[in-house]
Chains A and B, each alone.
Chain A
Amino acid sequence: MPLNILLILVVGGIAILALLLHLLGKSRLVILTPEDARTAWHRHFPDDEILGLTVASDGHAAVVQTDQGPGLLWSFGADTVARHLRDFDLLEKPGHLSVIFRDFTAPRVTLYLNATERPLLQKMMVPA
């Protein structure tokens, strides 16, 4: 197949599919209930004992207290990703909070928290 036709096909195909998926509503982030968050944490860390769990009001993240220390669970497209809060920095911005993990596979999570939950969750994220 000529290279220029292959290129048009690949670039055009990817663009059309991405647009189509977006228009079909497939870009929506999953919204977590406390029960979902609990199940999701155990899916990622089956050996952890969950001691407490707070879901952000937008449903896109949860701070989880476990016997292994605090952890963060967040919406990742239609699914979730979780990390223990061990090696990270918090960047405080007016509209949001950025969690910078020193982890090449999960570099940054942006949390949109309202004024009441923000100080609470922030406090829970600090390892004891």
Chain B
Amino acid sequence: MNNAISYPDVTQLAVPFFLSAILLELGWIVWRGRGGRYETRDALTSLVLGAGSVVSGMLLGFIAWGFFMWLWSLTPLDLGASALVIAVCFVLDDLRYYWVHRFGHRIRWVWAAHVNHHSSQHYNLTTALRQTWTGAFTWMMIVRAPLVLLGFHPAIVLFVGGLNLVYQFWFHTEAITRLPRWFEAVMNTPSHHRVHHGRNARYLDANYAGVFIIWDKMFGTFVPEQEHEKPDYGLVHNLGTFNPLRVAFHEWIGLFRDVFQPGLTLRQRFGYAFAPPGYSHDASRDTSAEIKAKHLARNPTDAGTPGFD
């Protein structure tokens, strides 16, 4: 296989589909008077962040591409481009997504890029497009290295990654409650991903899956949506701005301010950059573990229920 191999950029091709689906969802909500909420400035911010992330991908995509092509020049393996190879790559890349996403919530350096996907207090199809501008700076492209070294061509790896992201679009909705049991068992769905966007103590750090929910079940991070507890969407500390620049960069600014404040040990500075979000050297903030513990102190009967075990 030569380097001229080319696959369509699926995220760009999907733009007309994204826009029509948003109009459909909005129409459904207005018509039925239920199934979700929209707010003008919130949606506008999501859409601008989505467009910005495409631009950022165009400007910074060469970094990852250069890295992958360098790995490709090192590996003696070449699996070719049969349908089966692409399908296997899709599944393995979804496992890659699970871990990158999990790091995205457990390492502040990666969270600083991912946080804006969670910065809306709404959950509708526009929220899906609230994507990062700064993903290239997290170096999470390294997690894709094994795929390339195993002999999956970089173009295939990026192609299936694009498909993965496009799949994740449709389940950012409250218009769909539950799908057939077999589907909910294997696939990521609106219900599972609503949990992921919840700031409820119960739902923190759950359901990192991209396409297949089985990874969360395998690695112990699956929490089913509870009938009696609706997800409260957004961040533990919700943003008081719709400004896309502030949304895109706020956690990086907070991170660097924390790291470079005077009077810290090296270990503390390291903690502010790479420990789980909510780390503080003086216990002035709460990590998700502390938030869950405080919730259980207020609501002892929740102990042992999903999300609190």
Contacts and interface: CB of A to CB of B under 8 A. Distances in A.
A10 B51 contact: yes
Main secondary structure of the interface of B (DSSP, over half): helix
Nearest to A107: B241
B258 interface: no
Contacts of B44: 14, 17-18, 21
Contact of A17 (B9, B19, B122, B295): B19
Interface in A9-54: 9-10, 13-14, 17-18, 20-22, 24, 26-27, 43-44, 46-47
A36 to B, nearest CB: 14
Contact of B16 (A9, A76, A107): A9
B290 to A, nearest CB: 11
A72 B39 CA distance: 22
Contacts of B240: 74, 76, 81, 83, 101, 103, 105-107, 109
Interface in B229-267: 232, 234, 237-242, 246, 250, 253-254
Nearest to B242: A77
A17 B47 contact: yes
Nearest to B299: A46
A104 B248 CA distance: 11
Given A81-B239, A104-B254, A105-B246, A43 B40 contact: no
Interface in B205-239: 232, 234, 237-239
Contact of B238 (A17, A79, A101): A79
Interface in B1-40: 9, 12-13, 15-16, 19, 22-23, 26, 30, 37-40
B163 interface: no
Interface in A64-119: 74, 76-79, 81-83, 101, 103-107, 109
Given A14-B47, A46-B294, A105 B237 contact: yes
Contacts of B26: 17, 20-21, 24
A1 interface: yes
Contacts of A17: 19, 22-23, 26, 43-44, 47, 126
B51 A14 contact: yes
A1 to B, nearest CB: 5
A83 B241 CA distance: 13
Contacts of A128: none
Nearest to A13: B19
Interface in B30-65: 30, 37-44, 47-48, 51, 54
B41 A106 contact: no
A13 B12 CA distance: 14
Nearest to B14: A1
Contacts of A22: 40
A82 to B, nearest CB: 8
Contacts of B54: 10
Interface string B174-204: 0000000000000000000000000000000
B138 interface: no
Given A105-B237, A105-B239, A106-B240, A14 B12 contact: no
Nearest to B13: A1
A99 B191 CA distance: 38
19 contacts: A1-B12, A1-B15, A9-B15, A10-B15, A14-B51, A21-B39, A21-B44, A22-B40, A26-B38, A46-B295, A46-B298, A76-B121, A77-B121, A78-B39, A79-B121, A81-B239, A104-B250, A105-B240, A105-B241
A-B complex: 3 closest residue pairs judged by Cβ atoms: A106-B240, A81-B240, A27-B40
Given A1-B12, A13-B47, A105-B241, 4 more contacts: A17-B19, A21-B38, A79-B122, A81-B239
Interface of B: 9, 12-13, 15-16, 19, 22-23, 26, 30, 37-44, 47-48, 51, 54, 121-122, 126, 232, 234, 237-242, 246, 250, 253-254, 294-295, 298
